[in-house]
């Protein structure tokens, strides 16, 4: 496979810069979960994800369902790298009339396949997309990303059950296992335990990876892409705020913008 890992890592670094900058400019947003997810998103778009950047609404494209919609800067930074968003789009993140709504929204942004913001819904939506693809006899694949805190929503397990029952092999989920949710660490708020084991007991194929090791990310995505007999779950162990020292593993940067000084430090660390 001709995957250039270094190139993907460089892209992820650019994305991290834009994530932090757009949140700083907006004065609001969710840096922690964007930074934990971005290596996975870059890995997906850079390898297995089938789409046409010139025709983002191509009906037979793969779907990327970003269920943890508050990590919208991660998605926007990727779409910016692809040329689907321009500088003005990301500079106006969260502002009135902006293409870049606070949470990812398919009505506002070409290249966004789901209107998220309320946790727990994306996996079900992905099942609908996957069933439609199967009915259409299409080989398109459905990729869903959820947060680990999101697994506290009961609907995730309704969907996990349905994916097994209907043997939805064209469906893959990536769980951003960063261990922090809005208020605090998950083990304080509501620990879910072994997520991989839980998906496995629901009938899913499961692979656990370091979600910041691009080799492991690419390898796991390839594994999921090639398994079309059962739904696949990639449990990606990540660090919230990854790449910026004072944000890493820090619950206070779940949903807080960096100030001017913090932005300067962050950009220095990412350079």
Which spans of this chain sit near another protein (rule: CB under 8 A)? 59, 63, 65, 105-107, 113-115, 117-118, 120-122, 124-133, 135-136, 154-155, 158-159, 161-162, 165-166
**8-state DSSP, 165:** H
Residue 167 Cβ vs another protein, minimum distance, rounded to whole Å: 13
Residue closer to another protein, measured from CB, 11 or 101: 101
Neighbour tally for 129: CB within 10 Å: 22
C-alpha distances out from residue 136 to 59, 131, 144, Å: 11, 9, 20
Residue 126 Cβ vs another protein, minimum distance, rounded to whole Å: 6
Give how far the C-alpha of residue 9 lies from the chain's centroid of Cα atoms, to the nearest Å.
Answer: 16
Residue 217 Cβ vs another protein, minimum distance, rounded to whole Å: 25
Alpha helices in the chain (DSSP H): 5-26, 31-46, 72-82, 87-91, 122-135, 154-165, 186-189, 195-201, 214-226, 260-270
Residue closer to another protein, measured from CB, 10 or 136: 136
Residue closer to another protein, measured from CB, 54 or 107: 107
Residue 94 Cβ vs another protein, minimum distance, rounded to whole Å: 17
Residue closer to another protein, measured from CB, 103 or 237: 103
């Amino acid at each position: 496979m001709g995957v250039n890992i270094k190139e993907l890592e460089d892209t992820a670094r650019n994305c991290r810069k834009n994530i932090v900058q757009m949140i700083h400019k907006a004065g609001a947003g969710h840096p922690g979960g964007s930074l934990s997810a971005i290596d996975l998103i870059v890995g997906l778009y850079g390898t297995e994800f089938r789409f046409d950047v010139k025709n983002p609404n191509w009906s037979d494209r793969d779907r990327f369902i970003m269920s943890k919609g508050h990590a919208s800067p991660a998605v926007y930074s990727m779409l910016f790298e692809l040329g689907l968003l321009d500088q003005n789009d990301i500079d106006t993140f969260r502002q009135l009339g902006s293409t870049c709504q606070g949470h990812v929204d398919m009505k506002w942004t070409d290249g966004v396949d789901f209107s998220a913001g309320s946790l727990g819904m994306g996996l079900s939506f992905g099942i609908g997309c996957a069933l439609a693809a199967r009915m259409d006899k299409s080989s398109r694949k459905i990729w869903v990303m959820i947060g680990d805190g999101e697994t506290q929503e009961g609907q995730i397990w309704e969907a996990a059950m349905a994916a097994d029952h209907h043997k939805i092999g064209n469906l893959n989920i990536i769980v951003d296992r960063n261990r922090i949710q809005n208020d605090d660490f998950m083990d304080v708020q509501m620990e879910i335990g072994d997520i991989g084991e839980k998906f496995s007991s629901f009938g899913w194929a499961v692979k656990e990876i370091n979600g910041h090791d691009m080799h492991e990310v690419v390898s796991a995505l390839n594994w999921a892409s090639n398994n079309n007999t059962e739904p696949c779950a990639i449990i990606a162990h990540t660090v919230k705020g990854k790449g910026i020292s004072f944000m890493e593993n820090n619950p206070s940067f779940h949903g807080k913008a960096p100030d001017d000084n913090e932005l300067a430090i962050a950009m220095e660390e990412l350079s």
